[in-house]
Amino acid sequence: VGVEGLPKSKPSVFSYDGSLAIHAGERSGRGIVTDAITTPVVNTSAYFFDNTAQLIDFKEKRRASFEYGRYGNPTTVVAEEKISALEGAESTLIMASGMCASTVLLLALVPAGGHLVTTTDCYRKTRIFIETILPRMGIKATVIDPADVGALESALNENNVSLFFTESPTNPFLRCVDIKHVSELCHQKGALVCIDGTFATPLNQKALALGADLVLHSATKYLGGHNDVLAGCISGSMKLVSEVRNLHHILGGALNPNAAYLIIRGMKTLHLRVQQQNSTALGMAEILEAHPKVKRVYYPGLQSHPEYDLAKRQMTGFGGVVSFEVDGDLQTTIKFVDSLRIPYIAPSFGGCESIVDQPAIMSYWYSLKFCFILFPRFTVFVILIAMVLLCALVNIYLCNLTNSTTKGKSKGVSCNIRSPDNS
């Protein structure tokens, strides 16, 4: 709408996506008649039919309706419609958690005795599922570096690969995968591509538009955005999402309508939160990289990041997560974490609160204790290097930063410092 006297300006991606996040699904996606502006929470486990003829019409797909809570709910449908609109997807399936979405997708799309490719840097629980559960069904996995396209080509040529499953950016080093290129390679060999875009959000990265077949999110994080709900979702073509949906209806893991409402509410401010998180995270990453007590910083928006040019091409923002290594041993890092005044020591990210976690403690404590028992003479740092070269790592997640925990250049910036359950 033009207004006389005001200059014309092109809407940003965020303003357009912000409108989608607010309005998508609200008027026509509920499946119920209501004049409420806010989507109602429909708390029911089952739905009735007026007569048998209606039931038969429903079974024959001549009538749109709901049947049982595990198969769908008017409130969850609105959340799904919003996510589909943001991702440019034909269909979205929302579930009880991000891990529920990951595991059901893998079980649905990789057949028994099949083969998948994944990356070295990924969420720890996903890796555990791939390494310990899928082999029970004869499913094998090739693990490659996120940037090693040659290794992906070899895996595709040497195996009958059903799926390439990866994060971008990855957890916890925030590596970026060339989604367009890997999608082209996989499709040439008949393999599907699923991108876990949790760290990117649908605002910073459009994985489906880049060629991926499916995109997955832990909606617990940015989509919910308030650290008060667990949810996960997958988006893609109607055909592929329906395959996953059919298995999901059997396994369960349905999202309850109250949780769906929290996702809907959270998404209405998603564009505002993500813009702020992008801006503050980049500023904090630059401050940390210049700090003499910081050994290394991992953030796609820094020129020092190995996939910086790629990230600039396929992302519109780099997210609210910054990972960095303190220049010191485990005890030095603990001292740093414990000296922070605002961040909570906790898992997760993407909410309004600042969070910090140290993966050596949060994710690998029992492995660490085992090393102490076996090798009491080893220094903490040597033990950690021998384990996985990751335990001196601290991930910083920067969310809705309004308070200051730093001095000088960082004044006015509070930080969300955290490492995921994987490092």
As annotated, the active-site residues are 70, 123, 196, 221
3-state SS, 76-103, equals HHHHHHHHHHHHCCCEEEEECCHHHHHH
Q: Tokens for 287?
A: 């401050």
Nearest to 317 by CA among 206, 234, 230: 206
Q: What is the dihedral of CA 217, 165, 72, 76, to 10 degrees?
A: 10
End-to-end Cα spacing for the chain: 49
Q: Are 286 and 299 in contact (CB under 8 A)?
A: no
365's enclosing H/E stretch is helix 365-374
Q: What value, to the nearest 5°, has the Cα angle with vertex 235 and ends 142 and 183? A: 45
Cis peptide before 172 (omega within 30 of 0): yes
Question: In the numeric block, which tokens belong to residue 313?
Answer: 């091409």
- The identity of residue 196, as a single letter, is D
Please list the residues that pair with 357 across neighbouring strands.
Answer: 395
- Distance between CA atoms of 420 and 98, rounded to whole angstroms? 13
Place of tokens 């490659």: 144
